[in-house]
A and B are shown apart, each in its own frame.
Chain A
Amino acid sequence: AQKITQTQPGMFVQEKEAVTLDCTYDTSDQSYGLFWYKQPSSGEMIFLIYQGSYDEQNATEGRYSLNFQKARKSANLVISASQLGDSAMYFCAMRDTGTYKYIFGTGTRLKVLA
């Protein structure tokens, strides 16, 4: 069965520093998609970044980058130059290409310190 694992329930980072949020996945599919979402305290889910399993380059979106290591089945999110507004819950997710399902991890709560 497909699975997403986020092993860091909570993390702290100093403002302006970089932080890496871990995500590992398990799938037997060759074709899949990996996503990261941010959920601030307001509750909305905000899409951050996407990586396709066949993409050769790591995805980047502004201060967000996805460190994709296919052989290790990891898709870590890197946030550079952390800001106070980055304090939120972060979810890693995978799209099952066989069905239409999207599977989520348990999340990492990030707190940025001033």
Chain B
Amino acid sequence: DVKVTQSSRYLVKRTGEKVFLECVQDMDHENMFWYRQDPGLGLRLIYFSYDVKMKEKGDIPEGYSVSREKKERFSLILESASTNQTSMYLCASSPVRRTLHFGNGTRLTVT
């Protein structure tokens, strides 16, 4: 079974802090994704990566950056956390043109 692991299930940070959300997959998938999920808005794509060191902006990249130094790890970085970034963050991976496999999510609260 594919395993996508997000480092934290719950996270509380202060406004202005730099926040790292980590995601690791164990199936050698080429593609990795970061989504945020908000009530009534569904899942919105923040960034995705189709290869090591390659990244593409999704629909809502502002305020976020990503890093993919190794194939199995995709990190989401909030450079200066703000309260409007309080949300559920979902990481996913997939082989090329195949089903997404999701982690369990990180519920981030910025106070």
Residues of A bordering B, CB below 8 Å:
6, 9, 33, 35, 37, 42-45, 47, 50, 91, 93, 95, 97, 99-107
Interface residues on chain B, size class? 20 to 34
Which of chain B's residues have a CB closer than 8 A to the CB of A102?
A: 33, 45, 92, 94, 100
Q: Is the interface of A mostly helix, strand, loop or mixed?
A: loop
Known: A91-B42, A105-B42. A35 touches B31 (CB 8 A): no
Which of chain A's residues have a CB closer than 8 A to the CB of B58?
A: 101
With beta carbons under 8 angstroms apart, the residue of A45, A99, A103 that contacts B90 is A45
Determine if A103 and B100 form an interchain contact, defined as CB atoms under 8 angstroms apart: no
**B88 sits at the interface (CB 8 A):** yes
User: Smallest distance from the beta carbon of A39 to chain B beta carbons, Å?
Assistant: 8
Determine if A44 and B104 form an interchain contact, defined as CB atoms under 8 angstroms apart: yes
Determine if B41 and A101 form an interchain contact, defined as CB atoms under 8 angstroms apart: no
Closest to B9 in A: A43
Known: A35-B99, A45-B90, A45-B102. A101 touches B43 (CB 8 A): no
With beta carbons under 8 angstroms apart, the residue of A42, A97, A101 that contacts B45 is A101
Determine if A47 and B101 form an interchain contact, defined as CB atoms under 8 angstroms apart: yes
